[in-house]
Structure formats: structure tokens, C-alpha cells
Amino acid sequence: MTTTEKESSVRVSKILEGLDLTYKKLLADKRANGKKIVVLRDNKIVRVAP
């Protein structure tokens, strides 16, 4: 791996960690407020209770 590839992989891993944390916070907020989560399943929009 070159230096730029290492830097790129570090950036990608940080972005993925941030997205994971954001998703966890979103689920916690939805559960606390009793709201449904909207997801795409089999090319259909579906509302799921958390």
C-alpha cells in the first residue's frame, strides 16, 4: 500500500464509524419517541417499528 492508499483507507474507516454512530443515535431517538423507521425493502418503502 502506498501512503495515499493508507490515508484513503483511514478516511473511509472514520467515515464508516461516523455513519455507524449516527445510525445508532437515530435508532435510539426513534425508540425514545416511539416513531417508526422508514426503510427500503425489496424496492418498496416500508415503515418498521423500532
Domain residue ranges in the chain: 3-48
The answer to pTM > 0.85 is no
**pLDDT tops 70 at residue 18:** yes
Confidence of residue 1 (pLDDT cuts 50, 70, 90): low
pLDDT band at 20 (very low <50, low <70, confident <90, very high): very high
DSSP state string for the chain: --HHHHHHHHHHHHHHHHHHHHHHHHHHHHHHHTPPEEEEETTEEEEE--
- Cell digits of residue 21: 454512530
